[in-house]
Each structure stands twice: as C-alpha cells, then as structure tokens.
C-alpha cells in the first residue's frame, strides 16, 4: 500500500511540474498524452517488479489510460466535459430545471443568463431521460418550441429548425383561443408530454446547453 501511494505521489509531482512548464506555451496534446502514458505505464511496471499484482488500473485526466498485465493503452477524452453544479448531463448536453414561474419570454432570458437556451428535445430517448431525471416535470415547464412566426409551423426558436421529433399530448397543439404559440412539457401517466400555451402563461423553465 505504501509503495502504491508513493508511486502515485511521484506521478502527481511529475504532472504538476510538467503542467507548470507548459504555462504560456502552445501545448502539443499528443506529446503530453505520451508523457502521461509513460507515467502510468511506469507505475504498472514498478508495481509488478515489486511483487504487487495489479490486474487492471485506470488513470483518468484529459487522457484515460487502462493498464493490464499485457500493457497500457491511452486515449484522449477532450470532449468528456462535466456539467456545472446542479445541472444534469445527457448525451453531451447539460440540463437544468428552474422552478420559479416565468412567462416563455422571461424563461428564454433566464436560460440565456445561464449561457443556455430553452431546451429543445430532439429524440424519444432524450424525452424519456428528462421524465426520469426531473421529478419537477410533474408540473409544467417551458421548452424552446414555438409557432409564433407562422401558425402551425412549430420550430425551435433558438435555432429556427423545424421540429423533427415531438411528443404532443393527444389533440395538441390546438391553439386554443388562437393564442397558444409556445410549448411546454409535463409528466402524465409515466410519459413526458408536450402542450401549447399562451406565451404569457407563467410556469417553470427547462434550460439546455452543450457540456
């Protein structure tokens, strides 16, 4: 155990020193990846030489290295970014439910303030994940869908793209009273359904941004 801790301590010192030497320079990620691989492989080799049997070890930074008895392999994980605190991650995107009641327009501004947009939901798997992840969706929450520009032509307002997937509730959207131009979601009988409402209606906000 002491040997393992010592090796890890040495590896950390190496990485910190090497990182400091790179400050202010253009970093060749491939070279840095190779150096990290060397540190990880060295740890595995030293453990074996000292009689420790490590069947498999994982080292994760911007580079993920997996070492087994047959050797080590490394690969970059530059796109595996985490979401901010209190956000939930799915398929490379981050989501946050804002419980305060707002109009659709205020909801858009609230998401923008968080460097996000109202959520666009583009697949059944995403729709199911949202239902399972956010229990607060038992109450209504605004999404980015709107047909304000042309009645009946629903688009994601932030991108201007037509909806290619939807989960409208039965009989919706129906533009009741000729004033329902903004979309919201709500959970009903184990499903996340969509509905249209007047944009002045006040409810929760579902934000989404890239991880």
Q: Domain coordinates of the chain in residue numbers?
A: 2-76, 88-210
Choose between 35 and 21: higher pLDDT. 35
Choose between 61 and 104: higher pLDDT. 104
Contact (Cβ atoms closer than 8 angstroms) between residue 197 and residue 139: no
Q: Is the confidence at residue 174, as pLDDT, over 70?
A: yes
Mean pLDDT of 70-81: 58
Q: Measured between alpha carbons, how far is 207 from 205 in angstroms, rounded to an integer?
A: 6
Mean pLDDT of 40-54: 76
Quick one: 24 exposed, middle or buried, by C-beta within 10 A (0-12, 13-18, 19+)? exposed
Contact (Cβ atoms closer than 8 angstroms) between residue 208 and residue 116: yes
In the chain, how long is the greatest CA-to-CA distance?
79
Choose between 27 and 110: higher pLDDT. 110
pLDDT band at 135 (very low <50, low <70, confident <90, very high): very high
Alpha-carbon dihedral 148, 153, 154, 158, rounded to 10 degrees: -60
- What pLDDT is stored for residue 12 in this prediction? 46
Q: Does domain 88-210 have CATH number 3.10.100.10?
A: yes
What's the pLDDT tens digit per position in 187-202? 999 999 999 999 999 9
């Amino acid at each position: 155990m002491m040997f393992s801790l010592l090796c890890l301590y040495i590896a950390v010192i190496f990485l910190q020193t090497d990182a400091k030497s790179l400050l202010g320079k253009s970093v060749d990620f491939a070279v840095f990846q190779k150096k990290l691989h060397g540190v990880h492989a060295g740890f595995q080799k030293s453990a074996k030489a000292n009689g420790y049997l490590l069947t498999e070890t994982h080292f994760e930074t911007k580079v993920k290295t997996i070492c087994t008895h047959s050797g080590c392999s490394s690969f970059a994980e530059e796109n595996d970014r985490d979401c901010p605190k209190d956000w939930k991650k799915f398929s490379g995107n981050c989501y946050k439910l804002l419980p305060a009641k707002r109009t659709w327009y205020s909801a858009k501004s609230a998401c923008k303030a968080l460097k996000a947009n109202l959520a666009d939901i583009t697949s059944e798997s995403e729709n199911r994940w949202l239902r399972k992840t956010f229990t607060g969706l038992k109450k209504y929450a605004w999404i980015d869908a709107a047909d304000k520009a042309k009645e009946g032509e629903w688009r994601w307002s932030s991108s201007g793209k037509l909806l290619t997937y939807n989960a409208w509730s039965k009989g919706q959207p129906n533009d009741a009273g000729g004033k329902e131009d903004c979309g919201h979601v709500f959970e009903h009988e184990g499903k996340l359904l969509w509905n249209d409402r007047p944009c002045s209606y006040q409810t929760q906000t579902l934000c989404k941004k890239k991880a």
